[in-house]
Structure 1
Amino acid sequence: MFLHNRLGPSELKARLQAEKFLRRTVSFYRYVKIDNLKELRDDLYLAWDQLHCYGRVYIAHEGINAQMNVPEHFVDDFIAHLNSVPGMEDMPLKWAVEDDRQSFLKLVVKVRPKIVTDGLKDEVFDVTNVGNRLSPMEFHDLAQQDDVIVVDMRNSYESEVGHFQNAIRPEVRTFREEVEIVVEQLQERKDQKILLYCTGGVRCEKASAWMRHHGFSDVNQLHGGVISYTHEIKKAGLPSQFIGKNFVFDDRLGERITEDVISHCHQCGKPCDAHTNCAYDPCHKLIIQCDECADKYEGCCSDDCYHEFTQAKDSLADSKVEVKAET
């Protein structure tokens, strides 16, 4: 049996569209020591493939980080299996706020050096000395106080479409840039109460430990991230302090938290918060693009990419005509 996907994109999409059941998207992580990485990788793939789970799972000696979707009728089996894996018992699961069942098309389980690419040298600081974990309701109450500092630990393309009100949002593209800039910007405010948040909580684990290593005395983090916060706030019937969309790293590219549209189309400037990847494969840049510009540029991010994209498409069409003529 092959322990990896062997289907092409069109086959994967057709397989998903043919399904007669619903899927639930879930994310989870845990920092836990793992020794038998290859064995665990294969065991997880075999078990979750049998349950027809799709998603992206990274395991490393430091733990596991997963974003997946699970067939609704296999959710209990999936949780039971997760509980049977040493170190994975009682895993906090963050179920998607919005779900169109198409978050992932295939299952990928990979062994990685780290479960989050952070560029930090773990040997120079205590990665277990994390900040105080706040429940969503604790974070909600504290975030509205004037004497606290709320920091978005996500990349700028994430915070652009949604963020907590009054949060500091550094203009960065990588997590390594983020942690360094935050430490630098807040040097004079080390004794203030700092609230960190990210999508599901995993990045805040490393970020809070890094800040404590640099002398910040009152570091706190939103346990479960924006996903858990949204579920709890909706359950309590309270207005969300997070506005807009929560960017997610799957084919949905975002889930709506409030009706606020706080960003703009990168091409025409119209209010819009729909992310897409440039249709010209050599570029594939992530942009915000409205429906009108998507039609005008056929999903491309610029005039140059649109020109190259249409040329490549015309060339492909011409080659098909030639082949047909020859046959």
Structure 2
Amino acid sequence: MQLYNKLSSKEREQLIEQAGEERLTLSFYKYHQLKDPKAFRDDLFIHWNRLDVLGRINVAHEGINAQLSVPAKKFEAFKTVLDSIDFLKDVRLNIAIEHYAKAFLKLKIKVRPKIVHDGLNDSSFDVTDKGVHVDAMKFNELIEDPNTVLVDMRNHYESEIGHFKNAVTPDVDTFRQSLDIIEEDLKDHKEDKNLVMYCTGGIRCEKASAYYKHKGFKKVYQLEGGIIEYARQVKDQNLENKFFGKNFVFDDRRSEKISDDVIAQCHQCGKTCDTHVNCANDGCHLLFIQCEDCAKMMEGCCSTDCKDIIQLPYEEQKRLRSGRPAGNRKFKKGRSPVLKFK
């Protein structure tokens, strides 16, 4: 039986266009001790492939983390499959504010060491012993409390285009780096301060909350459902929106607008801008912020060197990047000496 995707992204894109169907973009996660992640992964693929579900899903002994695109007319069938799995019954689904049919082009379910790469070798804490989950209303109250320290648990390129009022936004490349920085900065306030955290959909905060409880913090909170669910509750309940800018997302949309504020700048000219792009040179693929004027002048590239390379014949471009690591591993996201205004 086929347990992996055989179609190319281009072929999948054509099928999506031909179908012309509405698709829902959503995400969910659940920490749970899985005895056999491989068997669980294969079973999921069989069910979801039949429903034309697309997305990126990581499965590990510690649970599941999923970003998906589901045909709207098959959503109930998809939900039935989830509810048939004991630990996923009634799991919270973070439904995107904006839907894009081509957010994902393949179904990729991978078995990983962890569902959130944290770099931790400490197995002495329980990831299910999490902090207090708070909804948007309670979150708004907490972050106005002078006794609260609000921490953005995302990376620099995410918080750069959007973050909450008064949030601490560590200038980090990885989730693991944030853990040590926050612990060090708040080491004298483990008992008296409210440590309130948020991230995109909640998964990083949930692990972080368990980690900080393990490290002795007494008042640990996390925004349930992350920024995605916060934006939904703010709209549905007519609450004050305390998030400025865009929420970075990990699909082809790259971001969702949460407020009209533009808080970032083009990395090439400094103009106010919050549009992330990937360098048009496939041998680079650097993620950075680029305004429309620079995109036109630089032909979608991050540097003049990359601009020169994309003018070469395809075979020559292929030869130049042969044997080199993939661009998104070669460069750190949003960091390069060629980006003058980063």
TM-score, normalised on structure 2?
0.89
Distance 2:122 2:30 in 1: 16
**Paired position in structure 2 for 1:319:** none
Matches of 1:41 and 1:126 in 2, distance apart? 23
The one-letter code sitting in structure 2 at the alignment partner of 1:123 is S
The amino acid of 2:301's aligned partner reads C
* Secondary structure class of the residue paired with 1:245: strand
| SS of match in other structure, 1:30 | strand
- CA distance in structure 2 between the aligned counterparts of 1:66 and 1:9, rounded to whole angstroms: 19
Instruction: Say whether 1:54 aligns with 2:43.
Output: no
| SS class of match (1:34) | coil
1:294 equivalent in structure 2: 295
Aligned twin of 1:266: 267
What is the rounded CA distance, in whole Å, between the counterparts of 1:143 and 1:186 in structure 2?
16
Find out whether 1:252 has 2:269 as its counterpart: no
Letter in 2 for 1:10: K
The corresponding residue for 2:31 is 31
Change (3 A) 1:122 1:89: farther
> Is 2:115 the counterpart of 1:115?
yes
Rounded to whole Å, the distance in 2 between the matches of 1:109 and 1:314 is 32
Q: Structure 2: 5+ residue runs without aligned partners?
A: 318-342
Residue type of the alignment partner of 1:305: C
Q: CA RMSD in A?
A: 1.6
More displaced stretch, 181-190 vs 280-289 = 181-190
Q: Distance in 2 between matches of 1:209 and 1:3?
A: 34
The whole-number CA distance in structure 2 between the counterparts of 1:23 and 1:144 is 37
Name the CA distance, whole Å, in 2 between partners of 1:172 and 1:239. Answer: 29
Distance of 1:124 and 1:301 partners within structure 2: 44
User: 1:209 is matched with which residue?
Assistant: 210
2:333 matched to which residue of 1?
A: none
List gaps (5 residues or longer) in structure 1: 317-327
The alpha carbon displacement at 1:310 in A equals 2.1
Per the alignment, in what secondary structure is the counterpart of residue 91 of structure 1? coil
The share of aligned pairs that are identical, in percent, is 48
TM superposition score normalised by structure 1: 0.93
Assess if the C-alpha contact under 8 Å between 2:9 and 2:106 holds in 1. no
The separation in 2 between residues aligned to 1:100 and 1:76, in whole angstroms, is: 19
Alignment partner, residue 281 of structure 1: 282
Provide the rounded CA distance (Å) in 1 between the counterparts of 2:124 and 2:149: 26
Q: Cα deviation per residue 1:16-47 (whole Å; 9 max; x = unaligned)?
A: 22222100011000011111222211111111
In 2, the alpha carbon distance for the partners of 1:106 and 1:113 equals 22
**Aligned match of 1:228:** 229
Tell me which moved more, 259-268 or 81-90.
81-90
CA 1:229–1:129 in structure 2 vs 1: closer, same or farther (change >3 Å)?
same
Contact 2:154–2:200 (8 Å) recurs in 1: yes
Letter aligned with residue 245 of structure 1: K
Q: Deviations over 1:217-260 (max 9, x none)?
A: 21111111111111111111122101111001111111110111
How far apart are the structure 1 equivalents of 2:16 and 2:292? 25
CA distance in 2: counterparts of 1:122 and 1:45, whole angstroms: 31
CA distance in 2 between counterparts of 1:22 and 1:236 reads 26
Displacement of 1:188 in angstroms is 2.6
Which residue is 2:141 aligned to?
A: 141
Deviations 1:89-128 (A, max 9, x none): 1111110011122210111111111111111124133323
What is the deviation of 1:53?
Answer: 0.7
User: Which residue identity is paired with 1:174?
Assistant: T
CA distance in 2, matches of 1:179, 1:4: 35
In 2, the alpha carbon distance for the partners of 1:135 and 1:122 equals 30
Match for residue 12 of structure 2?
12
Decide which moves more: 131-140 or 198-207: 131-140
Residue equivalent to 2:130 = 130
Give, in whole Å, the separation in 1 of the partners of 2:124 and 2:311: 50
Identify which range, 87-96 or 180-189, moves more after superposition. Answer: 180-189
How far is 1:306 from its partner? Answer: 1.5
Alignment correspondent of 2:93: 93
Q: Aligned partners of 2:180 and 2:235: how far apart in 1?
A: 34
The farther-off stretch of 246-255 and 10-19 is 10-19
- Tell me whether 7-16 or 254-263 shows the greater mean CA deviation: 7-16
- Residue 165 of structure 2 is matched in structure 1 by 165
Aligned residue pair count: 317
2:31–2:127 contact (8 Å) kept in structure 1: no
Segment of structure 1 superposing worse, 85-94 or 306-315: 306-315
Q: In the TM superposition, what is the alpha-carbon distance from 1:312 to its structure 2 partner?
A: 4.6
AA matched with 1:108: K
Residues of 2 paired with 1:140 and 1:243: CA distance? 13
Aligned to 1:323: none
